[in-house]
Amino acid sequence: AINIPKTTTLCYKRLLFHNLQELRHSASLANKVFIQRDYSEGTTCRFQTKFPSELESRIERTLFEDTVKTLNNYYAEAEKIGGQSYLEGCLACTTAYLIFLCMETRYEKVLKKIAKYIQEQNEKIFAPRGLLVTDPIERGMRVIEISIYEDRGSSGSSSGSSSVSGSTAR
């Protein structure tokens, strides 16, 4: 199982907290958008770059697309079948895959890079716009969940009518 080290989670939380500090008295979870997987190229992990309408007023299309495209590139790198993956596979087989107990696989290394990238993007781009991107691995690599926060004063009744449940908020 993947365990993001506690220090990374802690840093993530701290930075996120500071960036959302100005919204802290009024920020409330208004909605969540789920970017679905793009299966047009098979079962490799890829997300759709279609810009959701809910984000139209919140973030520039190019920034969003760049983020998703970079994530797609990371996943393609992790799942690439080539010389290195063959070597890793054959070497691991000769050790009866016991080597996986002590060595980190290439996929796990890339997942760590992805976690760091998402943290940076949240801090630099998404949090100032009142958005929060969740790492897809926490959603079973099915969706990229983007939480939209609203100023409480401006949202009025819209957040109350939203059908999302706030009980497992992330």
Partner 1 sequence: MSAVMITRKVRKWEKLPGKNTFCCDGRVMMARQKGVFYLTLFLIVGTCSLFFAFECPYLAVHLSPAIPVFAALLFLFVIAMLLRTSFSDPGVLPRALPEEATFIEMEIEAANGNVPAGQRPPPRIRNVQINNQIVKLKYCYTCKIFRPPRASHCSICDNCVDRFDHHCPWVGNCVGKRNYRYFYMFTLSLSLLTIYIFTFDIVHVVMRSVDNGFLNTLKETPGTVLEVLVCFFTLWSVVGLTGFHTYLISLNQTTNEDIKGSWSGKNRVQNPYSHKNIFKNCCEVLCGPAFPSVLDRRGLMQEDSPASSTSAAPSSSSSSNPMSQTMKTTAPLIPNEHTPDDAKPSIAASAEKSDSPKEEDPPTPQVPPLASPETEADASLAKDKAQ
Window of 56-64, 66-74, 118-126, 141-149 that interacts with partner 1 by CB under 8 A: 141-149
What amino acid is encoded at 50 in this protein?
A: K
**What pairing do the DSSP bridges indicate for beta strands 27-35 and 131-134?**
unpaired
* DSSP assigned state of 126: I
Bridge partner residues of 154 (DSSP): none
Out of 66, 123, 145, 151, the residue judged to bind partner 1 by CB under 8 A: 145
For the chain, report the end-to-end CA distance as a whole number of angstroms.
20
Binding flag, residue 81, partner 1 (CB under 8 A): yes
- Range 104-123, binding partner 1 (CB under 8 A): 105-108, 111
Which residue in the block uniquely carries the two structure tokens 């100023």? 151
Nearer to partner 1, 62 or 163 (CB): 163
Scanning residues 12 to 41, which ones bind partner 1 (CB under 8 A)?
12-14, 16-17, 20, 23-29, 32-34, 37, 39-41
